[in-house]
Structure formats: C-alpha cells, structure tokens
Amino acid sequence: MNHSVGIVHPQTAIFTAPLALDCGRSLPSYTLVYETYGQLNAAGSNAVLICHALSGDHHAAGFNAETERKPGWWDSAIGPGKPIDTNRFFVVCLNNLGGCKGSTGPLSIDPATNKPYGPDFPIVTVRDWVSAQHRLMQYLGLARWVAVIGGSLGGMQVLQWSISYPDAIAHAVVIAAAPKLSAQNIAFNEVARQAIITDPEFHGGRYAEEGTLPRRGLMLARMLGHITYLSDDAMRAKFGRELRAGQVNYGFDVEFQVESYLRYQGTSFVDRFDANTYLLMTKALDYFDPAHEYGDDLSAALAPAQADFLVISFTSDWRFAPMRSREIVRALLAAGRRVSYAEIESNHGHDAFLMNIPYYHRVLAGYMANIDLTLEQSAGVL
C-alpha cells in the first residue's frame, strides 16, 4: 500500500463557454470530473495527462474511500515509485465528455429539456475530447503537459493531442493503440451496439425515463468486448476448459469457467456503466481517423506534431496488434519526430496495457525518468 497514492477525491470543473463539436452541434455548458495525484512543481512544468479508454474514467489510481476494494484502473502504473511516479509528476485524469461517471454525458440533465440527455447527447469524437481536455488544462492554470499518456482509445487521444495542440504537449506516450480502427474492429463495435439497441429494454435510449435498463444488451456488449481484450493464449491459461461443477451437465447454464467469467464481467459492468455512454464511446473509436483529412497520409496528419513519442505494443494484442502501432511509428519517423518503439512480449492480449509486466513498466519508467531529468536540468538552468 505504500506504493499507492492513497485516498483521492474526485474534483469537478464547470465550463460555461460553449464547446463546438465535430458533429456540428455544440454543448452550451458542461462539467468535467477529474482526479489529480502528486504535486504541481513551482514552475508548473511537471503536469501529466492520462487519457482513459473505452470503459475507463477519471479514477485512475488510489482509492476513493477506505472501504473501496479495488484501486483506480491504472493503479499498476501510477503512484509513488511507479512508472508514472507521483513523487515527480502532477498527474491528471478526467472522465471524458459523454461519460457516465460525473462528466457531462447521456445521464446528465439537458438544460434545454430539463430531462436526461439520453440518446440525444451529441456524438463526441476523440478530437472533441481533446478540445475539452485542453480547456481543463487551462482551467488548471497549466501552459502545457510535459506528457500525455494513454492506452487503447486513450492512445488515440494522445495522438490527437500531438496534432491539435502541438505546443501543449512535450511527450506523447501511445500504448496499445491504432491510427484508426480496422473493419474487424468496427464490426465488433457494431455487434456490441446492436446487442444494446435491440434489447427490448433499450427504448430508443430512453430507458431511464421508462425506469429500466438494457441490462442484457449491455452485458452482451461487455462480454463480447472482453473476448477481444484477451488473447486465445490468455483464455487458455486463465480458464482452459475448466468446468465449474467438474462435469458437463448437457444444458445451457454456466458450465465452463470462461462462461462464468464472461457473465460476471457482463453483469457487473451493467451496474457501473451506462448503455448510451457505451454506444458513444464505440462511435468515437469508429470515427477516429486523423489521416482521413490528409488523403489517408498519417505522416501528413502528424506533420504539425512537435512532441517526442514513445509507442508501445503487445505481441498478443489482436484488437490493436503491434502492426497497428508500427503504422504509427513509421508515420512519426516519416514526419521527422523523435520516437522510440517497444514491442512487449505478453500473452495477455489487449488487456496487457493495464498490467504490471516487468519489461513494459521498465520501458515506461525509463522514459518518464528521462522526462523528469530534463525537467530538473531546465530547472537548474533557471
């Protein structure tokens, strides 16, 4: 526990200037919920932004209460003495727009109707999130991030940061990400969305008004997601063909351990996540494609970037396989960026980015320690 940031309290920032969105609509006002870990230094130069993935939120590290059983979603990497060392860095993590953990999203009240947005919440993109994150940066009185770090959908936000606000990001750490989704990725998202939308309890997204929840649909979506987060090897190692009761019963109840695991993941997700938010997040993933506006030339899209990059992938990740990270690295090299790339041997699939894999954490820690070193050197010059 001495490597934990300990008890943290979420904070709230309210923005009253309208935010124009990619979809053409705008949010008149909105709230962002965030947590911070570590201390901002006197020069205000050690701020690090963490971008969350599909089902993540602002609670990246530590505990919100003494009684909380599990720490924040990336506690393995964020804390005192950890790769993203809170003794050195001031770390900020927020819940993105459209989320369901306190930031303005489908569960929030639409000021125009005084009812929850529900399905009427505008579709938000990765670029919209980054615009909102930039406003949070200004709200916090920060001139720039010394690093923006994210895995999966979070890594896409990091790429977008380097393009949208090249002066406001010194280092970009892009983990288990892709420059855009493949048709297969979109296909999985579409099955997940259809599971939710066709649930009779979905009511066109107005389930809250009906006093119900599309539990089965959201559960199926999460079960499907979990299959894509793990590798075949990881599933074999974790569950094999283990039977819960030690024998087959020739029925459709849970028999294999993997079924039990998926049902547990699915049902527990329903209690903590909103179906409309899930739909929005999968759409943000599908739409992300910074190269599209540049004739599908990713290096042209990355031409404005000024940051130094660290790109990391995992060998058994088939959702965003190493070849997708290599596309990013090649484009960065062609754009003349300083970039390092590490390919981590792991059988944990896409989920590996959340795990404490020694080589992975050594690379991340080494990169962050060098950032800290340059901060100390520039402080020495001042």
Partner 1 sequence: MIRPDWHIVEQWITPRSRVLDLGCGDGSLMAHLIDRRQVSAVGLELDDDQVAACIEAGLNVIQEDLDSGISDWFAPMSFDFVIVSQTIQAMRHPERLLADMLSIAREGIVTFPNMGYWRNRVQLGLLGHMPFNRALPNPWYNTPNIHLCTLTDFEALCDELGLEILDRAVVDSARRESALLRTFPNWFGEHAIYRIKRRV
**Catalytic residues, which ones?**
152, 317, 350
Q: Interaction with partner 1 in 254-313: which residues (CB under 8 A)? A: 310
Distance CA 204, CA 368 (A): 45
- Give the interface segment with partner 1, choosing from 84-92, 133-141, 226-234, 356-364 (CB under 8 A): 356-364
- Give the interface segment with partner 1, choosing from 98-106, 121-129, 239-247, 361-369 (CB under 8 A): 361-369
By CB under 8 A, is residue 352 in contact with partner 1?
Answer: no
By CB under 8 A, is residue 327 in contact with partner 1?
Answer: no
Phi-psi region of 223 (alpha: psi -120 to 50; beta: other; left: phi over 0): alpha
Query: Which of 31, 374 has the CB closer to partner 1?
Result: 374
Among 198, 296, 359, 376, binds partner 1 (CB under 8 A): 359
- Give the interface segment with partner 1, choosing from 27-35, 103-111, 213-221, 335-343 (CB under 8 A): 335-343
Among 342, 352, 354, 375, binds partner 1 (CB under 8 A): 342
- Give the interface segment with partner 1, choosing from 18-26, 164-172, 277-285, 340-348 (CB under 8 A): 340-348
3-class secondary structure for the chain?
A: CCCCCCECCCEEEEECCCEECCCCCEECCEEEEEEEECCCCCCCCCEEEEECCCCCCCCCCCECCCCCCCCCCCCCCEECCCCEECCCCEEEEECCCCCCCCCCCCCCEECCCCEECHHHCCCCCHHHHHHHHHHHHHHCCCCCEEEEEEECHHHHHHHHHHHHCHHHEEEEEEECCCCCCCHHHHHHHHHHHHHHHCCCCCHHHCCCCCCCCCHHHHHHHHHHHHHHHCCHHHHHHHCCCCECCCCCCCCCCCCEHHHHHHHHHHHHHHHHCCHHHHHHHHHHHHHCCCCHHHCCCHHHHCCCCCCEEEEEEECCCCCCCHHHHHHHHHHHHHCCCCEEEEEECCCCHHHHHHCCCHHHHHHHHHHHHHHHHHHHHHHHHC
Tell the smallest beta-carbon distance from residue 190 to partner 1 (Å). 31
Tell the smallest beta-carbon distance from residue 335 to partner 1 (Å). 10
Distance CA 74, CA 62 (A): 9
Q: Which residue has the tokens 């969350």?
A: 52
- Give the interface segment with partner 1, choosing from 73-81, 122-130, 230-238, 333-341 (CB under 8 A): 333-341
Among 54, 173, 301, 329, binds partner 1 (CB under 8 A): 329
Tell the smallest beta-carbon distance from residue 314 to partner 1 (Å). 12
Query: Which of 25, 330 has the CB closer to partner 1?
Result: 330
Distance CA 210, CA 217 (A): 16
Query: Which of 35, 85 has the CB closer to partner 1?
Result: 85
Among 288, 314, 320, 341, binds partner 1 (CB under 8 A): 341
One-letter amino acid identity for 248?
A: V
Distance CA 178, CA 286 (A): 11
By CB under 8 A, is residue 330 in contact with partner 1?
Answer: yes
Q: Interaction with partner 1 in 362-381: which residues (CB under 8 A)? A: 362-363, 366-367, 369-370, 373-374
Tell the smallest beta-carbon distance from residue 340 to partner 1 (Å). 5
# residues near partner 1 by CB under 8 A: 21
Query: Which of 147, 280 has the CB closer to partner 1?
Result: 147
By CB under 8 A, is residue 338 in contact with partner 1?
Answer: yes
By CB under 8 A, is residue 81 in contact with partner 1?
Answer: no
Please answer whether residues 378 and 45 qualify as being in contact, where contact means their C-beta atoms are separated by less than 8 angstroms: yes
Among 49, 153, 339, 354, binds partner 1 (CB under 8 A): 339
Binding site for partner 1 (CB under 8 A): 310, 329-330, 333-334, 338-343, 345, 359, 362-363, 366-367, 369-370, 373-374
